[in-house]
A = this chain, B = another copy of it.
Amino acid sequence: MAAEKVLRMNPADHEISYANNSFYQKEVLMKVRPIVEEAITYMLKKIGVPTCMKVVDMGCASGPNTFQAISHVIDTVHGLCEQQGLKLPEFEVLLNDLPENDFNSVFKSIPDFYKQNGDLVQERSFIGGVAGSFYHRLFPSTSLHFVHSSNGLHWLSKLPVRLENNKGNICMARSSPPNIFKAYANQFWEDFTNFLSSRSKEIVRQGCMLLTFMVRRNPNPSHEHHCLELLAKSLLDLVAQGIVKEADVDSFNLPIYPPCKEEVVDIVEKEGSFEIKQLQVFEMDIDPLSRDEKVRNKEFYMKMGNNIANTFGAGLEPILCGHFGDAILDELFRKFASHEADDPNRSMHQIVNLVVSLIKK
């Protein structure tokens, strides 16, 4: 099945919806706010304030985070304009995700967004949706000023080829054979290059792009712990119980690839359309809700495990369901939560992120 058909977050009315299980993604947004502000400040200094600033959020999903990101962009521009006595621009905001995304839920949230942001924003910002893969062209030439994408670009456009020998794993993992690393890296190279060259045609000169996505710590992927290994482990538990066939696990791989920082820099430089203004790697607890708890007892870890499982569930259930059927999902995520709770390795409870701020040459 084409990636477009299976890569989507759970819809907003689903029990474990992305809308209600995206605190981690919200924290990532909070973390990169200063870099967004810097990027916009730099851009407006270079190109001036356009009459209408066209802003895109790529991989918007169906939850509230896209509106948080957008309102932060609008606020930042407003702040700068007020500071410098400049006329506020209008904003054309386009929210993008794959055609299977729950756009109906996104659109139903727009009236609330306006209510929360007041008359000035309502009068001057115009919001729409654009469905399609960001690995292709989606917008007219030289039309965008600011492109934002959070938590999307580690999703590949499709599964790499020749993953047959990745047995017992569900994506690139420490125990994967070397050809698996190569296959995933090649697909990421192709996809990220396509992403950059598509945006390159769409973004105005000196326009700006702010990308945040999952990366790994180590250039060598066989040194990397990854929390999805615990999901693979949970699937193997179900194999041991006779609930899932071993062959089904062996033939299942996720189109997810966390590159290392060096790969990202390399691809941006080789593609050639963008200059890197800022690049940072940072770690983030998958369950930010439980981070501040004082008592770290069994109950605490179970709650954390559940929250982590729900965060992944909102994104992974559709694709897992497409391969294994929905009957196993509850049990699978119960096991996943329990493995997360039991795991003493703190790095298993964190995701490494890269944020990069790019300027169109």
Q: Which A positions have Cβ atoms within 8 angstroms of B?
A: 4, 51-52, 90-92, 94, 99-100, 102-104, 107-108, 110-111, 123, 126-132, 137-141, 143
Given A103-B103, A103-B104, A104-B104, verify A126-B140 contact (CB < 8 Å): yes
Contacts of A94 in B (CB 8 A): 128
Report B-chain residues with C-beta under 8 Å of the C-beta of A4: 111
Using known A-B contacts A139-B126, A141-B52, determine if residue A107 contacts B99 with beta carbons closer than 8 Å.
Answer: yes
Partner of A103, one of B129, B139, B143: B129
The CA of A333 and the CA of B51, in the complex, are separated in Å by: 51
Q: Is the CB of A107 within 8 A of B126?
A: no
* Inter-chain contacts of A141 with B (CB < 8 A): 51-52, 90
Q: Which residues of B contact A103 (CB under 8 A)?
A: 103-104, 107, 129
Cβ–Cβ contact A143 & B52, under 8 A = yes
Does A92 lie within 8 Å of B140, measured CB to CB? yes
Contact B126 A127 (CB under 8 A): no
Q: Known interface pairs A137-B123, A140-B90. Does A130 touch B128 (Cβ–Cβ under 8 Å)?
A: yes
Q: Which residue of B lies closest to A130 (CB)?
A: B128
A130 touching B126, Cβ below 8 Å = yes
Q: How far is the CA of A137 from the CA of B104 in the complex (A)?
A: 20
Contacts A104-B104, A128-B129, A129-B129 known; list 15 others, CB within 8 Å. Answer: A51-B140, A51-B141, A92-B139, A92-B140, A99-B108, A99-B110, A99-B111, A100-B108, A102-B104, A103-B104, A123-B137, A126-B137, A126-B138, A126-B140, A128-B130
